[in-house]
A and B are shown apart, each in its own frame.
Chain A
Amino acid sequence: MLDEYRTKSYQAHLRPAVDENLIKDNVAIIGIGQTAFSRNSQRDELDLACEAIKNAVDDAGLSISDIDGLEALTLDRVSMPTLIGSLGIPNLRFTSEVSFGGGGACATVMHAAAAVATGLADYVVCYRSLNEASGHRYGRGDGYAEYLSKAPTLHYGYYFPYGFLTPLAWAGMYARRWMHEYGIKLDNTGWYSLVLREYAQKNPNAIFYGKPMTYQDYLDAPMIVEPLRLFDCCVDTDGAVALVVTTADRARDAKQSPAYIMAAAQSIPIETEIQTSYNRPIVSGLPETWYVGQELYRISGLGPGDIDVAELYDPFSFGGIIQLEELGFCGRGEGVDFCEGGDRIRVDGELPLNTAGGLLSEAYIHGFNLIAEAVRQLRGTATSQVAGAETALVTAGPGLPTSGLILRK
């Protein structure tokens, strides 16, 4: 696959036929729910998960006893049996967990979709609950080392002894190489973060609601790990998001307008490490995101020009910008120019992007909040509503095994 990526020669004929895809147009997200997003909830993940799931089930017009499947990330700290016991789900028939942190966000929906499309379950809830801000922090060196030391992951032993042990720094290595290869100047990279902060000013649930930012604020903020500044980074959050997935047949009776899944895809190329794939030929790009994009376009029959709104997983601004390139919204190395001045990615621009504020300015719920926002856009209920939005593309964590979705009205 890395050869396909390097030569940009995606070989569609090698892939499973579209007309055999049981998910396409046959599955929908019919409920979304979340908690408040905060920096210090003093609530545990179980509590947050219960609230978000109840809200999602209410939103779908269902009752808890209708739910017969649960889907989470392996990273989630909520014990599934305890969760089931708290919610009072009488008979759960399907559970599954997806690995790879935020890279698995859209894959949870894909796996839930596979379950309902094949009759293993009727209504599957995908959820993510975190108290990153007040509890368990992944982003900090000591916390990350503690977390990873429990799950021996071979390659990290080559990085930790050198004080190189946080996702931010690992991503910085990609960012530096990308800037080098495409001549990108450090001080030109702020528009992406700036526009997302603008969206957050319209979204009362956003962590950065009521905290606008100027370009000078962006430049004045400290470097955290060169070349990444403070406002290139996502915002540690306490909160939870849940989604209800069912078949299109059942979705027709739903309380809300369904968001149908046109395509769902996952990708893990060879020589992939979790955010540190430095022995792939190209370090300045994201082959898994490129591949997921190609698959989403092939299965949906859409192209980049058909996407009305994009919700791209952006743990760091560069991660979002490089995805614009990999998904074909602009050429390679042109992502910074694409965002220049911000108009293209604003709500009335050619590609409204991360319209609730994204992971940088709304909340970091491992991308589940991006899926919820895509659903709101298709329902017409977003705080920065894209006029007539009919299609939405959502991605998951970049630089690690990843996943993506194209949803439609």
Chain B
Amino acid sequence: MTLEYVPGIPILGPYVDPDNAPFWEAVERHEFVLQRCADCKTYFQVPRPMCPHCRSMDSLEWVPSTGRGKIFSYVNFTTDRMAYPAMKIPYSVVLVELEEGIRLTANIVDVEPEDVFIGMPVEVTFNKPTDSFTLYQFKKAS
């Protein structure tokens, strides 16, 4: 199953701010980067101006992620109640624990909702559902 959208209804875009802009700009280039503190090597999500571990503000860096991880949890939207109307049901939202240890949510593509399971190896992929932005998504690891 590929992820399908309902024509005519806007897909909500990322909320881009100065802290997370490098992430979404990388996604536009089909690159997947994570924010890390260069001093204490802590990764964090969501992006922020200060390392919550050592409070450094000037050593935050963006490092490439392998984009690989495992499904940590997931929900399936199988009825249109509570689903976002721009997206055709059914669709899944997966919480992926990346190899780097942090977790991100996204849709999973090319997997039926009933086939999703916790622990499933996945990798990042990119999709441009509208002219205005690109999204990262996950697919079954090859």
Q: When the two chains form their complex, are residues B12 and A140 in contact, meaning their CB atoms are under 8 A apart?
A: no
Q: Tally chain A residues at the interface, Cβ within 8 Å.
A: 40
Query: Interface 1/0s, chain B 79-113, versus A by CB < 8 A?
Result: 10111111100010101000000111111000001
Q: Total A-B pairs in contact (CB under 8 Å)?
A: 124
Q: When the two chains form their complex, are residues A278 and B95 in contact, meaning their CB atoms are under 8 A apart?
A: yes
* Complex interface: chain A residues within 8 A of B76 (CB): 223, 225-226
Q: When the two chains form their complex, are residues A158 and B104 in contact, meaning their CB atoms are under 8 A apart?
A: yes
| CA of A253 to CA of B52, assembled, Å | 50
Q: Tally chain B residues at the interface, Cβ within 8 Å.
A: 42
Query: Interface 1/0s, chain A 150-184, versus B by CB < 8 A?
Result: 00101111111111111011001110110010000
Q: When the two chains form their complex, are residues B93 and A162 in contact, meaning their CB atoms are under 8 A apart?
A: yes
* Complex interface: chain B residues within 8 A of A283 (CB): 72-73, 95, 103
Q: Could you tell me the distance in whole angstroms from the C-beta of A171 to the nearest C-beta in chain B?
A: 9
> Is A220 in the interface zone, CB < 8 Å from B?
no
Query: Interface 1/0s, chain A 268-282, versus B by CB < 8 A?
Result: 001101001011000
Q: When the two chains form their complex, are residues A157 and B14 in contact, meaning their CB atoms are under 8 A apart?
A: yes
Contact partner of B12 (CB less than 8 A), chosen from A145, A155, A226, is A145
| CA of A158 to CA of B16, assembled, Å | 9
Q: When the two chains form their complex, are residues A163 and B87 in contact, meaning their CB atoms are under 8 A apart?
A: yes
Query: Interface 1/0s, chain B 1-34, versus A by CB < 8 A?
Result: 0000000000111111101100000000000000
| CA of A223 to CA of B79, assembled, Å | 7
* Complex interface: chain A residues within 8 A of B87 (CB): 163
* Complex interface: chain A residues within 8 A of B137 (CB): 162
Q: When the two chains form their complex, are residues A139 and B82 in contact, meaning their CB atoms are under 8 A apart?
A: yes
Q: When the two chains form their complex, are residues B73 and A174 in contact, meaning their CB atoms are under 8 A apart?
A: yes
> Is A22 in the interface zone, CB < 8 Å from B?
no
Known A161-B14, A225-B76, A283-B72: A140·B103 in contact at CB below 8 Å: no
B113 closest partner in A (C-beta): A226
> Is B135 in the interface zone, CB < 8 Å from A?
yes
> Is A224 in the interface zone, CB < 8 Å from B?
yes
B9 closest partner in A (C-beta): A142
Q: When the two chains form their complex, are residues B102 and A279 in contact, meaning their CB atoms are under 8 A apart?
A: yes
Q: When the two chains form their complex, are residues B84 and A163 in contact, meaning their CB atoms are under 8 A apart?
A: yes
* Complex interface: chain B residues within 8 A of A141 (CB): 82-85
Q: When the two chains form their complex, are residues B12 and A160 in contact, meaning their CB atoms are under 8 A apart?
A: yes
Q: Could you tell me the distance in whole angstroms from the C-beta of A372 to the nearest C-beta in chain B?
A: 28
Interchain Cβ contacts under 8 Å between A and B, 20 examples:
A141-B83, A157-B16, A158-B14, A160-B15, A161-B12, A161-B14, A161-B135, A162-B93, A173-B73, A173-B93, A176-B73, A177-B73, A180-B118, A224-B79, A224-B81, A225-B75, A225-B82, A226-B76, A227-B75, A283-B95
User: A-side interface residues toward B, CB under 8 Å?
Assistant: 139-142, 145, 152, 154-166, 168-169, 172-174, 176-177, 180, 222-227, 270-271, 273, 276, 278-279, 283
Given A162-B137, A163-B86, A173-B105, 13 additional A-B pairs, CB 8 A: A152-B17, A157-B15, A160-B14, A160-B15, A161-B11, A162-B93, A163-B87, A164-B75, A164-B84, A165-B84, A169-B77, A278-B105, A279-B102
User: B-side interface residues toward A, CB under 8 Å?
Assistant: 11-17, 19-20, 44-46, 52, 72-79, 81-87, 91, 93, 95, 102-107, 113, 118, 133, 135, 137
The 3 closest A-B pairs by CB, nearest first: A157-B15, A163-B84, A172-B75
